[in-house]
Structure 1
Amino acid sequence: MGQNALYPAAGRLLGRYHGAAHPVQVRAALETGRDVPAEAEGPDFRRMVHLAAAAGLGTQEVGADALAEALAAFGMFGLTAEDWAQMLSAAEHDETPGADWGPLQPNADMVARVQRASDEELVRAREVHAGLRGFYGLYVLHGLLLPDTPAQAALRQRIDAWSMFPLLDHVITLNPSPRQFAEALALCREPLLESMYEVLMEQVSEDPAIFSIPGDATRAVGFGESWMRALRELSASGRAASEGGDANERRTAG
């Protein structure tokens, strides 16, 4: 596939995805009755078209500046496009050892990578994927008024320290197709995601009381009841606001 064909194809695919709104800002909006601010929207992954093109054409065809822009779209580690550009340029011009900026085609077909993996590698990748999916789900549910606990806050802090929520939001699919699942397994074999999984598992071992509200002896039972109560109150306030708006409209019409 040539450059003229690859870029439009990648753009159509990536242009449909803009990431989830950040759960912390969604929660704040729900608790205050305000709209989710525009800055809470996820990163614009249309810039990832350059990374897709690099996988198909090779990084030399795409260029370091465009690749830096694509990497910055993930939002990892809080690095900007300028930061990535400096890192890529330094690596590219390093004489000892030289960086290999050859084509990325061997890694482009993630399904083939999974097919080549050993049974042990696949089991480990599945473990990492399942674990990260659980941690990602906890973070998302925080935005839906899941009762907060010190253990949950510590997990979010670990993810935020790596600026990994945008990447998890892009990688983790709760109901994946077979191809999406294969692609996720391939990514979960990478050191970055495996390390993130280990860090979060370490945090859970240090403070496993994820579903225990401090001072509540009923533990998980009280946790669930607190969440259901918060959702009922949110629903009731929404109905009241809707009914009030309807009444104002009727008075205006009358």
Structure 2
Amino acid sequence: MPGRALVAAIGAGAEEIGADALAEAFAVWGMFGLTVEDWKQMLGAAERGEGPPVALLRQHADVLAPVRWADDEELVRARTVLIGLRGFYGLYVLHGLVMPDTPAQAALRQRIDEWGMFPFLSHLISFSPSPVQFAESLSVCLGPLFDGLYEALVEQLARDPNIFRLPGDETGPVAFGERWMRTLREVSAEGSAGHSRTDDPAKRS
């Protein structure tokens, strides 16, 4: 699936899949308009310790050029993709913060995992970006990889939009919110109780 080679490189190191395979993966998805040979040159330089990857990327490519070249329609689309991916990423992250799970949420996470794109969303998404960060993220979202992921997630959401409806409950977001708040209170109470036991000298002895 898209992104698998890139995720393998993040998890195991580029040396595990080979710089050539990684270069081809980047080039296939049109990352910053660089060719396979461009990527091979840059990745090889990074392996030799000639500079950090981000600095080398800026030497080899004008990261913001796609934004300058894009027309209004393309920029609006990239902004839509970026904002949409922020929302999907937020759902994924909140699942790890005791937010109640639902089949619709699980299906969206599965799509992201199938594409192997969660690590990349973690690098891409910034909820309070600087102007430069926003422009760089917009540039990436002009390409087919993140646009395709966004479309896949929108399609999945259309199939099952009940992301805030618990199975077997017809009250929808109300019951969902109540369960989430109750779980947060329980976790907070457990944390406070554990902290009190730790602070009590008699408990520690």
TM-score, normalised to structure 1's length?
0.62
Cα distance between partner residues in 1 of 2:197 and 2:9 = 45
Question: Residue 87 of structure 1 corresponds to which residue in structure 2?
Answer: 21
Question: Residue 194 of structure 2 corresponds to which residue in structure 1?
Answer: 241
Question: Residue 9 of structure 2 corresponds to which residue in structure 1?
Answer: 72
Query: Of residues 148, 154, 157 in structure 1, which corresponds to 2:107?
Result: 154
Point out where structure 2 has 5 or more consecutive residues left out of the alignment. Answer: 26-34, 42-56
Cα distance between partner residues in 2 of 1:203 and 1:173 = 24
Contact kept? 1:107, 1:113, Cα under 8 Å: no
Identity of aligned residues (%): 55
Cα distance between partner residues in 2 of 1:252 and 1:132 = 47
Cα distance between partner residues in 2 of 1:198 and 1:210 = 17
**CA drift at 1:126:** 0.3
Cα distance between partner residues in 1 of 2:142 and 2:128 = 20
Q: Cα distance 1:203–1:69, how it changes in 2: closer, same or farther (>3 A)?
A: closer
May I ask how many residue pairs the two structures share in their alignment?
Answer: 175
Point out where structure 1 has 5 or more consecutive residues left out of the alignment. Answer: 1-67, 92-98
RMSD over aligned Cα atoms: 2.9
In structure 1, the residue corresponding to 2:64 is in which secondary structure? helix
Question: Residue 111 of structure 1 corresponds to which residue in structure 2?
Answer: 64
Question: Residue 37 of structure 2 corresponds to which residue in structure 1?
Answer: 101
Cα distance between partner residues in 1 of 2:128 and 2:141 = 16
Cα distance between partner residues in 2 of 1:223 and 1:80 = 42
**CA drift at 1:183:** 0.4
State yes or no: 1:213 paired with 2:174.
Answer: no
Q: Cα distance 1:105–1:179, how it changes in 2: closer, same or farther (>3 A)?
A: closer
Query: Of residues 81, 86, 91 in structure 2, which corresponds to 1:128?
Result: 81
Question: Residue 92 of structure 2 corresponds to which residue in structure 1?
Answer: 139
**CA drift at 1:116:** 2.2
Runs of 4+ that moved beyond 6 A: 68-71, 103-107
Report 1 or 2 for greater relative contact order, CA contacts < 8 Å, sequence distance ≥ 6: 2
Contact kept? 1:71, 1:84, Cα under 8 Å: no
**CA drift at 1:151:** 0.3
Query: Of residues 150, 172, 175 in structure 1, which corresponds to 2:125?
Result: 172
In structure 2, the residue corresponding to 1:176 is in which secondary structure? coil
TM-score, normalised to structure 2's length?
0.75
Question: Residue 185 of structure 1 corresponds to which residue in structure 2?
Answer: 138
Letter paired with 2:75? L
Cα distance between partner residues in 2 of 1:203 and 1:231 = 28
Cα distance between partner residues in 2 of 1:82 and 1:240 = 46
